[in-house]
Structure 1
C-alpha cells in the first residue's frame, strides 16, 4: 500500500560532489553484499536490535532476495530504498531508506534511515549524508515530520 499521494513524483536520483544516489535493485547485489558484510560491525552498532541484520551467515542469495524485495517496494511506492554509489558506480557506499511510519511518535509521516560503508567513516561520509539528506527531505518530499535516524524531525 502506497503511503504517498499518487501524484507525488518520487525522487529518482540525488547527486552530490561525493556520491550519487538512486533506487537500489537486484543488479546491485554484489556491491551491496560487499558493503553490508564489510560494514557488519558498524551496522550492528548503528542499528542494533532495531534491524537485527546482517547475520554472520548472511549469504549472497539472501541479499539478492532482500534487494528484490526493496526493488518491488519501490515500484509499489510502499517503501523507498536508495543505493548510495561512488560517482563512477564502482562501489556501493551505503543506503538510504524512506519508509512509512511504523508507529511511535504521533504525526510522523515517514521514517528515514541511512548508513555509510564502514571503510568510509573516517572520510566523514555519514555526516555528509546526514546534511544532504536533511535538505533533500525538506525540499523534495511532501513530509512535514519524519522520524530521522530514530529522532523526530520537522522538515
Structure 2
C-alpha cells in the first residue's frame, strides 16, 4: 500500500491566520474541542456527508477523548492529519480541519473543516477556506485535492468510484 505522504515529507505543523491558528489536535484539547463540537452538533451532523452520524447527540466527553486520541495517533503515524482551529492565544477552539486519504479514484486527499456555530457570522469560515486552499496547494505534496461537501457537492462525490 502506498503511504499517504512520503517518508521524507515534512508535515506542516501550523497554519496561522489573522484571527486563528491551526495546530495538531491532541487529547489535551478535549475540553475545548468538546465544547466546540457540542455547541455546533446539529450543523456538524451533515457536514461530513449523508449518514456520517458524527457527532452523535449523546457524544460524551470520554468518547470525544477517544476520538482525539485516535486522531493524534493517526497524525503520529502519518495516516491522516487532524488540526484544531484555535484563537491565536490558544484559549478557545474555533473548529477543526482534517487532511485524509481520499477513498475516491482520482484524488490523493480529501480535506474537511468546520467552524463552531458562534463563528458563522464572523466570516471565519470563508477566511479559513481561503487559507486552507492556499496552504494545501503550497505546503502539501498532493496533486489532486477533494473538498467533499464544499467544492464538490455530496451527490457528485458519492457518485465517484472508490479506489
- Using the size of structure 2 for normalisation, the TM-score is 0.87
Deviation at 1:148, TM superposition (A): 1.1
Contact 1:116 1:126 in 2 (8 A): yes
Number of residues paired by the alignment? 150
CA offsets 1:92-131 (integer angstroms, 9 cap, x no match): 000000001112xx32000100000111000011111110
**1:109 maps to 2:108:** yes
CA offsets 1:16-42 (integer angstroms, 9 cap, x no match): 111000000000000000000000122
**1:131 maps to 2:112:** no
SS at match of 1:43: helix
In the alignment, what sits opposite 2:92? Answer: 91
CA offsets 1:39-75 (integer angstroms, 9 cap, x no match): 0122124334352111111000000000000000000
Contact 2:48 2:112 in 1 (8 A): no
Contact 1:114 1:149 in 2 (8 A): no
In the alignment, what sits opposite 1:25? Answer: 26
In structure 1, list runs of 5 or more residues that go unmatched. Answer: none
Give RMSD over aligned pairs.
Answer: 1.4
In the alignment, what sits opposite 1:145? Answer: 144
In the alignment, what sits opposite 1:39? Answer: 40
SS at match of 1:121: helix
Moved over 4 A (4+): none
SS at match of 2:86: strand
Higher strand proportion, which one?
A: 1
State which drifts further: 143-152 or 23-32: 143-152
Q: How does 1:48-59 map to 2 (within 5 A)?
A: 48-59=49-60
SS at match of 1:49: coil
Contact 2:34 2:61 in 1 (8 A): yes
Change in Cα spacing, 1:124 to 1:149, as seen in structure 2 (3 Å) is farther
In structure 2, list runs of 5 or more residues that go unmatched. Answer: 153-163
State which drifts further: 109-118 or 44-53: 44-53
